[in-house]
Structure 1
Amino acid sequence: MVKIEHRAMIKFLTKRRKNAQTVFNEMETIYGEQCPSKSIIYKWYGLFNHSRKSTEDDPHSERPVVATTSDIVEKVKKIVMEDSQLKKNQFFVLVGVSDTTIL
């Protein structure tokens, strides 16, 4: 929620035709230590200055979760020791993770 508030302020100041440095200075005055970095402000300033409307993040695919817990590692070792000829899809079902979890 804070990111959206910051972006809304950047958008507002950009629409008021403030330059990027002024936007940064005003944001720093208003938000203090909670102010986004200068590079973030300049990035969003550029986006809003070039007709971006939304303050929301663009949709993107989720990064796959990496399974590294010792419990899963032990499951994998046990399954491989019991049946090293297991097919890939059977292996993932037995371990209880998706095929994108283990690389």
Structure 2
Amino acid sequence: MVTSNDLLIKQRSVIKFLAAEGCSAANIHAKMKTVYGEMCISDCAVRKWVRIFKGEDPREIILRDRKRSGSPLSALVTAHQEKVDCMIRANRRVKQKEIANAVGISKERVHHIITTVLGYLKVSARWVPRQLTVEMKAQRKDMCTQLLELSTVCPRMY
């Protein structure tokens, strides 16, 4: 499946190629309209890119979007995830602000790590895992089998 960003890059490449051959912007748009149909970029955008590729526009000749400024998402760093998880396991009543100060990231990123990445839920001022762990599932299975065995031995008691 082609994403819209990939489609834009392909269309810019076509514009660059046809502009290098000397085709006019109107000609390029007409050719692209037959190939891409409704997904084709506008005539105005084609003219803009032809100007850029012919060097009439002082901007750089680019096909892909430039990288944006800003720091990368700290929720993706596994070291941060491990620190947050260790702090929660040590003290289930720990606050997000305390975790943020200890780890050195924002409260918003801490909340994202806790709820989305680690899957915790706040219940009665404590962080609780949303899903059962493997040990908890095994305990539940053992208890259910014991109760099932008891119910077959003494059916009237249970």
TM range, normalised to the smaller chain? 0.5 to 0.7
The DSSP-based 3-state class of the residue aligned with 1:97 is helix
Segments of 5+ residues of structure 1 without an aligned counterpart are 63-89, 99-103
Q: Return the TM-score normalized by structure 1.
A: 0.56
Rg comparison, structure with higher value = 2
* Moved >4 Å (runs of 4+): none
Pairs within 5 Å for 1:57-96: 57-61=65-69, 93=100, 96=107
Choose from 3, 21, 25 the match for 2:26. Answer: 21
Pairs within 5 Å for 1:41-60: 41-50=46-55, 53-60=61-68
Counterpart CA distance in 2 for 1:43 and 1:58 is 17
Q: Return the TM-score normalized by structure 2.
A: 0.38
Could you tell me how far 1:53 is from its partner in structure 2?
4.1
Q: Hey, what does 2:38 align to over in structure 1?
A: 33
Identity, % of aligned positions? 28
More strand by share: 2
Q: How many residues align?
A: 71
Q: Hey, what does 2:12 align to over in structure 1?
A: 7
Q: Hey, what does 2:118 align to over in structure 1?
A: none
Q: CA RMSD in A?
A: 2.7
Segments of 5+ residues of structure 2 without an aligned counterpart are 1-5, 71-96, 110-158
Counterpart CA distance in 1 for 2:15 and 2:66 is 17
Q: Hey, what does 1:97 align to over in structure 2?
A: 108
